[in-house]
């Protein structure tokens, strides 16, 4: 911030020095232009300062979480997550990147929790998307499976025959869209106890591919401290509820 103020001072002083050396008084127009320029740059400096401060707070949030859980903190992404984990979330948009990643093991399960950013559209229609997510690696090779809250468009599509997988619990069918390469695998995963558990967390989206599970809020929000603890707990509970025989498939 001080650098910007010094630049403004030099810029402002330089204009008037040049005017004085030319033997003329600064005109009202010149003074007005200088004033506008200074105001614009000051506003830009304030905005940049706020952005840097928010980024600092986010970094400290993740570092504190890493210390509490005895995880490792990375400002960047040493795993190149968007390119190495084949989840649908990472197929969306462009300029995809992971930031503020923490990594560690809990109950023998490798966990990666991070902020994720990507863009959609271009030009004036470009949008930024930011969210947090958790990846858990588990020793069960799962079929490609996605679960997310159902919306109005899904119900409209179902009217024309584009349905997802339906289960015996109607409340679960109304709450979630489930797609999987294998219906049998989906039925194995979403047994009655698992469906009841998921109905307690209707805001979640979940993807499973290979030996990795991805969990995030479907409406895409960054985790706060309570969210981070809750998501980690949910991940453990989801894995605990998986049928034992899936470990042998």
Question: Residues 171-185: pLDDT tens digits?
Answer: 999 999 999 999 999
DSSP E strand boundaries for the chain: 72-74, 94-106, 109-120, 127-149, 176-180, 204-217
Q: By the 8 A CB rule, do 85 and 110 touch?
A: no
Q: Assess whether 76 and 167 both reside in one domain.
A: yes
Q: Assess whether 13 and 98 both reside in one domain.
A: no
Write down which residue in 25, 46, 65 finishes a domain. Answer: 65
Write down which residue in 20, 43, 65 finishes a domain. Answer: 65
Residue 15: which pLDDT band, with cuts at 50, 70 and 90? very low
The per-residue pLDDT for range 36-82, each reduced to its tens digit, is 677 777 777 766 776 656 677 899 999 999 999 999 999 999 999 99
Helix or strand holding residue 8 (H, E): helix 2-21
Q: Which residues have C-beta within 8 Å of that of residue 183, sequence separation ≥ 6?
A: 165
What are φ and ψ of residue 219, in 5° steps?
-80, 10
Q: Assess whether 210 and 121 both reside in one domain.
A: yes
What value does the mean pLDDT of the chain take?
85
Which residues on adjacent β-strands are paired with residue 167?
none
pLDDT of residue 18: 52
Q: Name the nearest CA neighbour of 75 among 104, 114, 111.
A: 114
Q: Name the nearest CA neighbour of 133 among 199, 25, 185, 205.
A: 205
CB contact burial 202-220 (16+ within 10 A = b; e otherwise): eebbbbbbeebbbbbbbee
- Higher pLDDT, residue 128 or 32: 128
Distance of alpha carbon 94 from alpha carbon 212, whole angstroms = 22
pLDDT of residue 87: 96
Q: Assess whether 44 and 166 both reside in one domain.
A: no
Q: Assess whether 127 and 205 both reside in one domain.
A: yes
Token code pair at residue 136: 């858990």
- Higher pLDDT, residue 22 or 121: 121
Q: Assess whether 78 and 180 both reside in one domain.
A: yes
pLDDT of residue 50: 63
Side-chain-facing half-sphere of 15: CA atoms under 13 Å: 16
The per-residue pLDDT for range 115-160, each reduced to its tens digit, is 999 999 988 889 999 999 999 999 899 999 999 998 766 555 544 4
Q: Assess whether 117 and 40 both reside in one domain.
A: no
Write down which residue in 47, 65, 83 finishes a domain. Answer: 65
- Higher pLDDT, residue 162 or 148: 148
Distance of alpha carbon 87 from alpha carbon 96, whole angstroms = 13
Supply the range of the domain harboring residue 36: 2-65
Mean pLDDT for 89-111 is: 96
Q: Assess whether 14 and 122 both reside in one domain.
A: no
Q: Assess whether 179 and 75 both reside in one domain.
A: yes
The per-residue pLDDT for range 204-227, each reduced to its tens digit, is 999 999 999 999 999 889 999 999
Q: Which residues have C-beta within 8 Å of that of residue 145, sequence separation ≥ 6?
A: 178, 179, 180, 181, 185, 186, 189, 206, 207, 208, 209
Q: Assess whether 152 and 122 both reside in one domain.
A: yes
pLDDT of residue 29: 65
Q: Assess whether 101 and 157 both reside in one domain.
A: yes
Token code pair at residue 172: 């679960």
Residue 112 has pLDDT above 80, yes or no: yes
Q: Which residues have C-beta within 8 Å of that of residue 108, sequence separation ≥ 6?
A: none
pTM over 0.85: no
**CA–CA–CA angle 183, 189, 194 (5° rounding):** 130
Neighbours of 191 (CB within 10 A): 16
Q: Assess whether 91 and 50 both reside in one domain.
A: no
Looking at the chain, how many residues does it have?
Answer: 249
| Domain tally, the chain | 2
């Amino acid at each position: 911030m001080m650098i910007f103020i010094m630049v403004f001072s030099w810029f402002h002083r330089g204009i008037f020095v040049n005017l004085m050396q030319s033997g003329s008084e600064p005109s009202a127009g010149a003074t007005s232009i200088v004033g506008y320029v200074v105001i614009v740059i000051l506003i830009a400096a304030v905005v940049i300062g706020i952005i840097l401060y928010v980024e600092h707070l986010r970094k400290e949030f993740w570092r504190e979480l890493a210390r509490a859980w005895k995880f490792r903190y990375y400002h960047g992404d040493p795993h190149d997550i968007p390119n190495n984990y084949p989840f649908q979330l990472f197929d969306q948009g462009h300029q995809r990147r992971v930031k503020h990643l923490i990594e560690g093991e809990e109950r023998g399960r490798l966990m990666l929790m991070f902020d994720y950013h990507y863009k959609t559209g271009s030009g004036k229609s470009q949008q930024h998307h930011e969210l947090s997510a958790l990846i858990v690696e588990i020793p069960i090779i799962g079929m490609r499976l996605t679960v997310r809250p159902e919306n109005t468009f899904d119900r409209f599509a179902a009217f024309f025959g584009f349905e997802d997988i339906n289960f015996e619990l109607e409340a679960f069918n109304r709450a979630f869209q489930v797609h999987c390469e294998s219906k049998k695998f989906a039925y194995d995963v979403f047994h009655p106890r698992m469906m009841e558990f998921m109905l307690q967390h209707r805001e979640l989206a979940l993807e499973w591919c290979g030996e990795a599970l991805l969990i995030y809020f479907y409406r895409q929000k960054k985790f706060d401290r309570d969210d981070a603890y809750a998501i980690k707990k949910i991940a453990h509970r989801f894995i605990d509820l998986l049928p034992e025989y899936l470990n042998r498939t």
